[in-house]
Amino acid sequence: MLEAARRAGKRSVVGWAVAAILGGTLAACAAGAGAQAGPTTVDGRAMRSIDAPAHVGDWMSYGRGWDEQRYSPLTQINDRNVQGLGLAWFDDLETFRGVQATPLVVDGVLYNESIYNIVTAYDGKTGRKLWTYDPKVGPEWARLACCGPTARGLAAWNGKLYIGALDGRLIAIDAKTGRELWSSQTFPEGQEYSITGAPRVYDGKVVIGNGGADYGSRGFVTAWDAETGARLWKFYIVPTDPAKGPDGEASDSAMRIAQPTWFGRFWEAAAGGGGNAWDAFAYDPELNLVYIGTGNGSPHSWHFRSEGKGDNLFLCSIVAVDATTGEYRWHYQEVPEEDWDFTCTQPIVLADLMIDGRLRKVAMHAPKNAFFYVIDRTNGQLISAKSYTSVNTWASGIDMATGRPILLPTAHNTTTPHLMNPSWMAGHTWHPMSYSPLTGLVYFSAQEQGSIYSRAEDGQYRYVKGRSNSGQQYGNQPELRARLQAEAVATEKGYLLAWNPVTQSEAWRVDYGIPGSGGVLATAGNLLIQGTINKTLAIYRADTGAKLWEMNIDQAPVAGAITYLVDGEQYIAINAGWGGSPVMNLNRNGPFRTATAKLLVFKLGATGVTLPPMPPPSSLPPPPPLRATESQVITGRALYAETCQRCHGENAIGGVKDLRFMTPQGHARFEDVVLKGILQERGMASFADVLTPDDAAAIHAYLISRGNEDYQDAAAAAQ
């Protein structure tokens, strides 16, 4: 019926016919009328009936439902009236750092999380602040997480909110007052972990992962009692030294499967092996399964991590565990022999699809490796997989008989630099994706960003605590590297993709030229909502991709939008704060400037609320674009601390000269100053006896990175 109506040009996503197609659950809300029927308690009953009239106006979990579809049946704002959308209210979050959280809304109260896990409750209708909670995460954690002191969202359950703090605390606070109720430390202190992903609550169990594979750690997921904070189970993602025996955790049976797929003294190569599950979770309450998307290896190089042998389970996999016990049920590994910093921690979306005349319970996944997977979520069997980008230098396809990728002969890294696309920058990064049961399409931001890979020579890799332990080398064969880098820059692309998971084919796309556009939200109003790299919020027809509405917001949101109801009115909310997504051509049209990060809330007919203008460019010298790799920057940070900090200030702030904001001339002669001592008469002696040219270049890269991080704040202060 839906497809026939679409072909007839009718607006097929509104009305009682659609409600009938979806089982009648939208009857009271299909037109977006009516507020919630009394106070909402976020519990199992509410989460199992999110489309019922009492809950349809709430947004109670990170992906709205446990299936992570990020689809709302609200239709008051729709493809016929969205042109009347206006800004209802906003809150300036007073930072230029990336703000990546998805807000929650319960009973008309909007709960938002900014940098350093600061949580604020707002009246969802007016924007009035009700309370703010600051967990006081130390500023040093901004340097220990790969994407800065950001967080992707909160969880809610039975009158409580749950924060996965950057420093590893799982904190429960009272949703009415913001008062802290309990706190549990989820990872060992002093080790290379952090939390940037959103916790989830599944039938009274708070599930949380962590990051840290780049720095050297052993990934795991834990579940905690939502009422008391007591730990319920722990599931390790990769094995450890077999001489230690079983861990005594829920993952013990899984580690017996994983252990034979690892070789050498892998637990020493980077203090753990990696696999950290830092963002992707979903839950099927009927099957009582939690689905975990796991991360990359540590070190990145398979050659150094596992002697270039073995699949290295459960790196870059979807792993299903029993929600009650945490015990292993099944897995599907998307990237065996992981060698490329391919994380599989991108959103997992659950749905029931009619495939070959049979209704299948599926999990859908579009990880870094540029293949879109449809997997039977009852048993982990692959149903289909196809590359969703126009270039894939990693694998030519997926062998349907084995489920394994068909690796290209040049895929694995050698000591000769080569260009990989997709790369560590991803075919699809963590930005939220959505699925519409009305169009049958999955929507996500896709990109093509090549990167140069070559492993270090034998004997040249060693694990260093606190540094990114990739096992790569970055300076050999410079002429080849320059040619490959030029190719990567010239071919960089970014677009919004609508994908048909049944036919494994592209339905439509919106080309943005470069990567960086954010998460998406689909609604029954035939709308698809996305923040764009063009510093706008844009709304498209979900069925065709035609643009319906767009507003300049002086920011490039990476977070996903939400929609909710208060007093019968539908609102759209999004955090707009750029950060955490490297783009090579970002400054192609001049310096990429944004306003401060803001929480923006829209509704039909709203007028009179305008965003303040951006301040004029400062005379403070802008830093050059950051061209270095993450590993170079991290190496430079450590060398700076050992060599330069006493005179030039901790974290490169202040000191005898603030090196974050050097002039173009200062940048041009940086190595001559450091290694040749051309300013020794001013007290800056040569450091050629302790620093190599590569060391000086790494320190310079770190300072450029610090300048890019802090420039807009410093420039605004200079006005």
Indicate the domain borders of the chain.
82-386+408-429+449-491+558-604, 630-718
Q: Quick check: 402 and 387 in contact, CB under 8 A?
A: no
487-502 burial by CB neighbour count: b if 16+ within 10 A, else e? ebeeebbbbbbbbebb
pLDDT at 650: 56
**Rounded Cα gap, residues 394 and 408, in angstroms:** 6
Q: Quick check: 189 and 168 in contact, CB under 8 A?
A: yes
pLDDT at 533: 96
User: pLDDT of 391-416, one tens digit each?
Assistant: 999 999 999 999 999 999 999 999 99
Q: Which whole number is the average pLDDT over 198-222? A: 95
Q: Which whole number is the average pLDDT over 352-370? A: 98
Q: Quick check: 275 and 315 in contact, CB under 8 A?
A: yes
Q: Mean of the per-residue pLDDT values for the chain?
A: 89
User: pLDDT of 100-115, one tens digit each?
Assistant: 999 999 999 999 999 9
Q: Is the per-residue pLDDT at 21 higher than 60?
A: no
Q: C-alpha 678: how far from its chain's center?
A: 44
Element (H, E) at 109: strand 109-113
- Looking at domain 82-386+408-429+449-491+558-604, its CATH class is mainly beta
User: pLDDT of 528-572, one tens digit each?
Assistant: 999 999 999 999 999 999 999 999 999 999 999 999 999 999 999
Q: Which whole number is the average pLDDT over 233-239? A: 98
Tokens found for residue 160:
């409580």
pLDDT at 414: 97
Q: Output the DSSP codes for 457-502.
A: PTT-----TTS----B--SSSHHHHHHHHHHHHHH-EEEEEEEETT
- Residue 37's pLDDT band, with cuts at 50, 70 and 90, is very low
- If phi > 0 it is left, if psi is from -120 to 50 it is alpha, else beta; for residue 247 that is alpha
Place of tokens 């990476």: 558
Asked about 284 being catalytic, the answer comes back as no
Other C-beta atoms within 10 Å of 636: how many?
A: 26
- Contacts of 5-14 spanning 24+ positions with Cβ under 8 A: 6/543, 11/78, 11/79, 11/80, 11/526, 12/438, 12/526, 12/543, 13/75, 13/78, 13/79, 13/438, 13/439, 13/524, 13/525, 13/526, 13/542, 13/543, 14/75, 14/78, 14/524, 14/525, 14/526
User: pLDDT of 464-511, one tens digit each?
Assistant: 776 678 888 877 888 998 899 899 989 999 999 999 999 999 999 999
pLDDT at 14: 34
User: pLDDT of 423-477, one tens digit each?
Assistant: 999 999 999 999 999 999 999 999 999 999 999 999 988 887 766 788 888 778 8
Tokens found for residue 303:
């050659």
Q: Nearest 5°: phi and psi at 386?
A: -155, 145
Q: Quick check: 193 and 238 in contact, CB under 8 A?
A: no
**Rounded Cα gap, residues 343 and 257, in angstroms:** 21
Catalytic residue among 167, 311, 341, 710: 341
pLDDT at 716: 66
Q: Which whole number is the average pLDDT over 44-50? A: 97
**Rounded Cα gap, residues 541 and 523, in angstroms:** 10
pLDDT at 587: 74
Q: Nearest 5°: phi and psi at 286?
A: -70, -40
- What is the SS3 string spanning 333-360? ECCCCCCCCCCCCCCEEEEEEEECCEEE
Residue 619 burial (C-beta neighbours within 10 Å; 0-12, 13-18, 19+):
exposed
Percent of the chain beyond pLDDT 70? 90
> Where do the DSSP E strands lie in 252-411?
281-284, 289-293, 317-322, 328-333, 348-355, 358-365, 371-376, 382-387, 395-398, 405-407
**Rounded Cα gap, residues 341 and 423, in angstroms:** 8
Tokens found for residue 448:
């093509």
Q: Is the per-residue pLDDT at 361 higher than 90?
A: yes
When mean pLDDT is compared across 34-38, 269-273, 374-378, the lowest value belongs to: 34-38
Where is pLDDT greater, at 214 or 26? 214
pLDDT at 629: 85
pLDDT at 337: 98
Q: Nearest 5°: phi and psi at 641?
A: -60, -35
Domain 630-718: give its CATH code.
1.10.760.10
Percent of the chain beyond pLDDT 90? 72
Tokens found for residue 438:
């009305």
Q: Is the per-residue pLDDT at 9 higher than 80?
A: no
Q: Is the per-residue pLDDT at 187 higher than 80?
A: yes
**Rounded Cα gap, residues 115 and 101, in angstroms:** 9
User: pLDDT of 615-627, one tens digit each?
Assistant: 787 677 889 988 8
β-strand partners of 231: 224
Q: C-alpha 355: how far from its chain's center?
A: 30
Q: Is the per-residue pLDDT at 16 higher than 90?
A: no
- Cα distance from N-terminal residue to C-terminal residue, the chain: 59
**3-class SS at 548?**
strand
pLDDT at 35: 41
Q: Is the per-residue pLDDT at 369 higher than 70?
A: yes
Q: Is the per-residue pLDDT at 655 higher than 60?
A: no
- Residue 376's pLDDT band, with cuts at 50, 70 and 90, is very high
211-236 burial by CB neighbour count: b if 16+ within 10 A, else e? bbbbbbbbbbbbbbebeebeebbbbb
pLDDT at 631: 84
The pTM of the full predicted model, rounded to 2 decimals, is: 0.86
Q: Which whole number is the average pLDDT over 578-604? A: 86
Place of tokens 């022999």: 337
**Rounded Cα gap, residues 599 and 115, in angstroms:** 12
